[in-house]
Amino acid sequence: MNVVCNKPSFTINLNGDVVALTPPLVMGILNVTPDSFYAGSRCNTEAAVISRAREIVEQGGAIIDIGAYSSRPQAEDVPEEEEMNRLSRALSLIRSVYPDVYISIDTFRAEVARRCVEEFGVTMINDISGGELDDKMFETVASLGVPYILMHMRGTPRTMQEYTNYGDIIADLLMYFSEKTDKLRLMGVNDIIIDPGFGFSKTLDDNYLLMNGLSEFQVLGFPVLAGISRKSMIYKLLGTSPEESLNGTTVLNTLALLGGADILRVHDVKEAVETVIEATNGTDERLIYEGADLIYHMIVLLASKGYRIEDLARELQERHSSTWKKH
């Protein structure tokens, strides 16, 4: 993995505040959905919404990211009116307790984005579709003048895993982001954050190729967000579940930071804040400690399937052969 040594210093405008992304920021996830992939993120009562918002703020999260439309694979469609109703209830509650907290809205719908900014003072828009699912999104973001998280995904949450054919995934995504950011800049959008979209239209191998090449996105000249928290790229590799994926998340968040990530989008805010501190001010020993956790879990999984670490090493060696083909 390439480690970013001389990382550029970015700032973003959050509700009129010029906020530095050095050290990286932590964005806490708050879902007002009944079906998000990680049950621990679901907040479906008033008390749960307020409690989760308080937890994010008190544990050091800089931004609350609220989602009302599950983007897990094969997720069911949510009508726009229902999405907006869920968001309105959550935003009203949070603003009553934290009137000035920075809030991001996870939506691909331009009208939902507009209403959330104009009615509730939302700080930024987090669009998993990169404008592909609503052709009015770019012009809406430009008119609102808020930061925009531009994520890569093919298809929809329901169909995205059908579109995982890439020539060179890093080169393909660099081209995608280059074209999209050029268009956004011409429309007057100044604060753009790049999100490679771990787990969206990506195979397990694709996700780790992205992680290994995360530093390549520095060439675009925009901040990078990494959303890895408790995703299948962790628990499928380890043969566990989202509920058992905190250690793996911590390791990959550390790697993302070393690869140049400026924002971590997470379920576990306290642990992510500690990871930022360790990655930016910590020791090599701590990094080795966290990496050992992930390798330990992988060895346990291999053993349970009758394999040894040598089998994994042999596979990696074969990948350097000109005759190797992806399974």
What residues does 31 pair with on adjacent strands? 42, 67
In the set 265, 270, 305, 325, the catalytic residue is: 265
Strands lying side by side in the sheet with 148-151: 192-195, 148-151, 124-127, 102-106, 63-67, 25-31, 263-266, 225-226
In angstroms, what is the C-alpha Rg of the chain? Answer: 19
Contact between residue 214 and residue 224 where contact means Cβ atoms under 8 Å apart: yes
| 72 given a catalytic annotation | no
**Per the residue annotation, which of 52, 231, 286, 314 is the catalytic one?**
231
Q: What single DSSP character describes residue 131? A: T
Asked if 265 is an active-site residue, the reply is yes
3-state secondary structure (DSSP) of residue 130: coil
Cβ-Cβ contacts under 8 Å for 108 (sequence gap 6 or more): 69, 127, 128, 129, 132, 133, 134, 137
Q: How many CB atoms lie within 10 A of CB 237?
A: 17
Beta carbons within 8 Å of 119's beta carbon, 6+ residues apart: 88, 91
The residues annotated as belonging to the active site are 231, 265
